[in-house]
Chains A and B, each alone.
Chain A
Amino acid sequence: AQSVTQPDIHITVSEGASLELRCNYSYGATPYLFWYVQSPGQGLQLLLKYFSGDTLVQGIKGFEAEFKRSQSSFNLRKPSVHWSDAAEYFCAVALGGDDKIIFGKGTRLHILP
């Protein structure tokens, strides 16, 4: 069965520092890959998605993610975080266009002033 692993439950970085959130997936073929962000008590906002093509994907809010087939990874990065980036980040996969999305357990990002 397909699965998504986010190895870091919590990550703390200083404001202005760079960020990388890890995501690994387990599936025979390349799935559709997503990163969502969720502020406390709020909905899920799509940051970026990967279907095919260029393995470096640009998203909103200055985020990017790189798909690495050899490592089955889709890590999220941001060169300089802002205090407003503090939130829960979910990596997610889907098998195909009509398939359900499966979420990872999430990584809670804390920002130090």
Chain B
Amino acid sequence: AAGVIQSPRHLIKEKRETATLKCYPIPRHDTVYWYQQGPGQDPQFLISFYEKMQSDKGSIPDRFSAQQFSDYHSELNMSSLELGDSALYFCASSLGTGLGELYGYTFGSGTRLTVV
């Protein structure tokens, strides 16, 4: 079965550089969520999109922005990178109907961002 695809798997950037992470949801899933997981931490919700509109916002720094495109893939743009941005970034997708068993998150394998 198709899964959530994230690219790249690994990314190394220098401080103050910009990074773009991509997420391709499961086919027919219309909702995308982004999470950040620092070393030894639990995943923290950043932002979500439903039908290409921002649906919720968490602890996302102002230096970060994201969008969902017409094909439902999403991109997380991170500017002025700081050492503290080094983390595993997960994307998850779901079908935004909330219809019981049809509902469910599927997470991608993540992008490991290292800022040096």
Query: Residues of A at under 8 Å CB distance from B?
Result: 32, 34, 36, 41-46, 49, 51-52, 90, 94, 96-106
Contacts and interface: CB of A to CB of B under 8 A. Distances in A.
B100 interface: yes
Interface of B: 31, 33, 42-45, 48, 50, 55-56, 58, 88, 90, 92, 94, 96-101, 103-110, 112
Pick from A32, A42, A97, A105 the residue with the most CB of B within 10 Å: A97
Q: Chain A interface mostly helix, strand, loop or mixed? A: loop
B108 A103 contact: no
A34 B42 CA distance: 14
A20 to B, nearest CB: 20
A43 B100 contact: no
B43 A32 contact: no
Contacts of B101: 51
Contacts of B94: 97-98
Given A44-B90, A102-B45, A106-B42, A97 B105 contact: no
A51 B103 CA distance: 9
Contacts of A102: 45
B103 A97 contact: yes
Given A100-B33, A100-B56, A44 B42 contact: no
Contacts, number: 60
B90 A52 contact: no
A44 B107 contact: yes
Nearest to A36: B107
Given A102-B45, A104-B42, A97 B98 contact: yes
Given A90-B42, A96-B98, A106-B42, A101 B103 contact: no
Give the 5 A-B CB pairs with smallest separation, nearest first: A97-B98, A43-B109, A97-B103, A103-B42, A44-B107
Contacts of A36: 107
Nearest to B88: A41
13 contacts: A41-B88, A43-B109, A46-B104, A46-B106, A46-B107, A51-B101, A90-B43, A100-B45, A100-B56, A100-B58, A101-B33, A101-B92, A102-B45
B109 A98 contact: no
Contact of A44 (B43, B58, B99, B112): B43
